[in-house]
Homo-oligomer: A and B are copies of this chain.
Amino acid sequence: MTGKNKTTTNAPDAAEPDTKSRIIAVAERMIAGRGIQQMSIRDITREAGVNLAAINYHFGSKERLTAEVLARQVTHLNVERMAMLDRLETDYADGVIPVESVLEIVFNLILCADDKARIAEHTVKMIGRFFMDPDAEVIAMLRPYFLPFKARVLKLLVRALPDIPREEVEWRTFHVFGLLNHYFLFADLHCKECGKKHNVKKELRRLVAFCAAGLKASPGAPHQAHSH
């Protein structure tokens, strides 16, 4: 049925792949650009050079297309991040993993956009759009993909920060992921404002430094309020 029946011509030119793949590629770019609800079947098919009915034929509905667009990159990305955590846990067999090492993995996917080009620049932006979508069904789609990783990161951070109350670490970790998402969506904008193209490695160092300090901050020590 939905199987690969790709016109047995044995020259699957990379420039003109599957209709299905072409749709997914354009849809991903469109979601990154204008958001999920604003991505239109008609615009996608026009830009991809396929027929209007192609999406409903290959995916069943617009909603199922967005689900596949999400799954496409995220599943791959997830196994990679999980593997990184595995390596980290075996390296630190005693269980005391530095906060910075965990954060490096959390923020690592911004590197992929530059280094190995496995994940395009607009891919992370697309993920950001998913998280910022107001629709409850959309964010429900995200849960199975991101919750396991987040839970595992949280556990490591709780262990790495024995002096901080667990609930406080949870709160801070929640906002670390929020910052990651904000970075996905607006890093290019900030880059445009300040004029200079950023070095990805440097950005990773910055993110880790900022968040590590925030995570480690003494929670019970508010500053001395000034009088007024």
Binding site for B on A (CB under 8 A): 33-35, 37-38, 87, 91-92, 98-101, 129, 132-135, 167-168, 170-172, 174-175, 178-179, 181-183, 185-186, 190, 194, 205-206, 208-219, 221-228
Please state if B214 and A211 are interface contacts (CB–CB under 8 Å). Answer: yes
Please state if B208 and A222 are interface contacts (CB–CB under 8 Å). Answer: yes
Task: Please name 12 further chain A to chain B contacts, defined as beta carbons within 8 Å, in addition to the given A87-B228, A209-B217, sorted by A numbering.
Answer: A34-B134, A91-B227, A98-B224, A99-B223, A129-B134, A171-B206, A172-B210, A175-B210, A179-B179, A209-B219, A211-B214, A213-B216
CA distance A160 to B198 in the complex (A): 25
Which chain B residues border A218 with CB–CB below 8 Å? Answer: 209
Q: Tell whether A134 pairs with B182 under 8 Å between CB atoms, given A101-B226, A219-B206, A223-B100.
A: no
